Amino acid sequence: MRRSGILLHPTSLPGRAGIGSLGAPARAFVQFLADAGQSVWQVLPLVPTDDSGCPYNSTSAMACNPRLIDLDDLCASDIGLLTAQDLADEPRPERWDRADFRLAWQYKIGKLRLVLDRLLASDSALHREIWAEFESFCAANASWLDDFALFDTLQEKQPEGPLWTQWPEGLRDREPAAVAEANEKYASDIELRKFAQFIFRRQWRALKTMANARNIRIMGDVPIFVSHNSVDVWCHRDLFELDAKGFPGYVAGVPPDYFTPKGQLWGNPLYNWKKLADTGYAWWLGRLQALNELVDIVRIDHFRGFEAFWSVKATEKTAINGQWIKGPGLDFFKAVAVRLPNLEIIAEDLGITTAAVEKLRKAAGFPGMRVLQFGFPLDEPNDHHAPHMHSADSVVYCGTHDNDTTVGWYQSLSEAQRDHVRRYLSIDGKDIAWQLMRVAEQSVGELCILSVQDLLSLDASARMNVPGEAKGNWAWRMTDSLPGWIADRLREMTFLYGRRPLDPIR
C-alpha cells in the first residue's frame, strides 16, 4: 500500500507562550493533512525536553512534554477550569517563528497549578469525573509515573542541582527512607507533574482520535539511547553500564564520516544488553508499549545500534577513538514481535550501515529509510539513496529533521552538483523543493514523508536540527496555518502517484 505523509513536530505549530500546542493549531494541521490526501503525520519524540528543546536528550523515555498542553482547550465550556481572563497575561515571545521552550514552561506550569487547584476545589459532577479519570490514570501508569514525577521534582528542588549523581547518597541511590521522605516533602509538586502528564495524554488522545477518524496514522519516534541524567537511568542503573556512583565508563556516539570528521560523541550511557536479555527486555518492551499507546507507527532511531553500537571512553573529547560492540540483534526484535505483534516499525538505517545491519533489518521485516539529498553523489550513481535504486520496502524523504531544507540543501551545492541534480531529474531547479518532493512521491518506496518546510519552499533558516551543534536547534515554528492552495497542490501530486489514502482506521 502506497502512502504519503508529513513530518512536523508539534512544537513547530502556532500556539500560546512561544510554542506549538495540541489544541486548535494541531487540529487545523490534521485537517490540512486530510485535505491534502495524506495518510501519516510524523512527529519527533514526544518526551519532556529542557529549555534547549532537544527531544533526543530527555529526562524520561516514558513521559510526555507538558509544554505542548493547550491552555485554550482548558477554557472550553465542557471543562471550564480556566477563563479567557486567566490567559490575558500571556507572555509574548521575542520571535514568533522560533519556539521559546523556557517561556512556555514557566507560563504553562503556573496555569496548570491553577487548573489543578480549581479541580480540587470543585464539586461539579464533571470535575469529579475528571478527577476520577486522573486517579485511574495515575494507578494505571504508576510503574513509570511515580518515579518520573519525583525525579522531575527533585531536579528542580535539590540544592545540589538537577544532576542525580550529585545528590546526597540516599537520593542518588534511591534508598527507601530517602525516597519516602522526598515524596512526602514534595507531595504537592509531585501531584502537579502527574496532573500535567494526565492533561497531555487527555488532549493527545482527542487529537489522535481526530486524526485516525480522517484515516491519518501518527508516526512516533523512539531514540535508541536515553540521557544519563534521566529517571530511567536513575531507577534502572542495573540495565546500564555504570560504576558504583552511577557514572558511565563508556558512552555512545558514532564514528567519523564524511559529514562529521570527528564523529558524534553523544554521551549517552550504554545498555547492559545481557541484563536486559535476562529480563526478557522488559524495560524496552514497556517503553515501546507506552509509545504504541500514543502513536500508530514507531520509527526506531539509530537502528544500526541494535546490530552493533559505537562505544567510546567517557573521558574522550571526540568520538574518533571508539570501537563497535555487538548489540542484541534479532533476538530483541523477536521479543518485540511476541509482545507487540501488531506494532508497525520503521528502521532509521542512515549513517554507517553494513551488510549485517541490512540483514538484521530485512530479517526483522522493517522498511528502511532513503533520503534524496544523499542520492546524487557525482562519483557513485548507484548509491542506494539514488531514486533509481529505491526498493518498495523504503520510507522516502527529501530530507529528515537532521538535514537542511531542500532549498537550503540545493543552495549549498556546488554548481557542478546542482547541474548533476538537474540533469538526473530533468528539471530546471527553479522550484526545487516541489520538484524534489515530486520525485519522492514518484519513488517505488511504499511510504513518502515530506516536510512542512519544503511545502513552504523555505531556505536553511528554517532547518530543524544541525547534528553536532549544541545551540540553535529544534526551534523553527510556523507562524500561521498552511494555506489551502498547498493542500490542493499536494493532494493532486499525491493522488497522481498512487498514494491516495484508501484504508479506514478501525
Give me the active site residues, please. Answer: 301, 348, 402
Closest CA to 15 of 105, 96, 110, 109: 96
In whole angstroms, what is the distance from residue 490 CA to residue 455 CA? 8
Cell numbers 520571535: residue: 95
Q: Residues 144-182, buried b or exposed e (16+ Cβ, 10 A)? A: bbbbbbbbbbbbeebeeebebeebeeebbbbeeebbeeb
Q: Which three cell numbers stand for residue 49?
A: 525536553
Terminal C-alpha separation, the chain: 17
Closest CA to 76 of 199, 213, 211, 195: 199
Closest CA to 230 of 191, 283, 277, 184: 283
What would you measure as the largest C-alpha separation in the chain, in angstroms?
A: 72
Structure-derived torsion over alpha carbons of residues 63, 52, 155, 46, reported in degrees to the nearest 10: 0
CB-side neighbour CA atoms (13 Å) of 238: 10
In whole angstroms, what is the distance from residue 207 CA to residue 185 CA? 36
